[in-house]
Structure 1
Amino acid sequence: MSGAQETAAGLLREHGRTYAQEAGITLRDRPAPLYRLLVLAVLCATRIRADIAVAAARELFRAGMRTPRAMADAEWQARVDALGRAHYVRYDESTATALGRGAELLLERWRGDLRRLREEAGRDTAAEHRLLQEFPRIGPVGADIFCREAQGVWPELRPYFDRRARDAAASLGLPRDADDLAALVPEPDLPAFAAALVRAGHA
């Protein structure tokens, strides 16, 4: 095992959980878990700590807002209250609004199923990244978060290491190139490895 592979293995041991796993999302290529990942990406895309964003996602899901229909039908105050319980307070009101509007967009344009967005994009990574940014609060960073985690179920995204993951890799003496990073771990570990790099970059 090379030194780079040893570093990658150590990162997986120490930080090798995806943000979706931390939020209680069992990610599959199905409408509900993909939507929950989108919610998590919205929450993580603001200038707020990742652990608070993950806790906010868990509170929203615990309150029943696990599908776009449930999110759209929920009272705005219920969304605010769920975010508040997780101490997601600086952006709680604007994020509650964005989540409601995003759920309505998903229902109206893609009938509640992000797999339809994927097909509209022709399973092209750049097109998927662009379409994701049509959701409120999902800018380039939010789209990166979604793609980084979704590469486990959407193979066309692999390997996906966003700028934050690649910057962290470089700071650790690892390759910056996505294909070179992907060669350090088994393919099923790519989402966890990307998440581990991001966490290491914040350490």
Structure 2
Amino acid sequence: MNIIAQEFLSTEEFELLDELLERYVVKGNANAVISDCSELDGFLTAIHLSPTPVMPSFWLPVLFNQESSSFDADIEQLQEFMNLIFRHYNFISRILRLGKKFYQPLLAEVRIERRKLLLLSPWCKGFMLGAKLVKINRQAKIKPFLEIIRQNTKIPKGDVPLMVEQRKTVKQIQNAVLSMFTTLVLVFDEQSKK
């Protein structure tokens, strides 16, 4: 089994991660910043776009919106929670480097009046939070790409967009992320090797 397959979370693990996010991050915290796996995926993706390494000690307190030492938790469950977060974090790192054929934002789906709707706003909100944290939102050369994501932080009102339109928007987001990754990370990696 290859490393990427080992890091990719199964459906059951994503469900568990959603439950644990609810337990450790959202429950009782009106200011929770990450509420589901889609927001977490967006947040972690933005963290990976920083041209310089970002230590988990910097972004974990933001994820929990509190000091991570203040948990009243079962230590085994908390370790499992952290393991799932870091496996997904590592998966995103590897998959971004593989590019367009492999990278996809993790989006939830809901049914509205017998039609599927891809929920873009949670992923986009998580991404914008991470972008602000690592200050990539200040980079002029990626502002057009960030704008594509920012425009999708709100839940659409009115008619549910056709799936074709939704997939087009997802493709725009995917391309924006990969363009930012190329601009910020791969170029920085090449320059630092010289």
After TM superposition, the score normalised by the length of structure 1 is 0.29
Structure with more of its chain in strand, by fraction: 2
After TM superposition, the score normalised by the length of structure 2 is 0.30
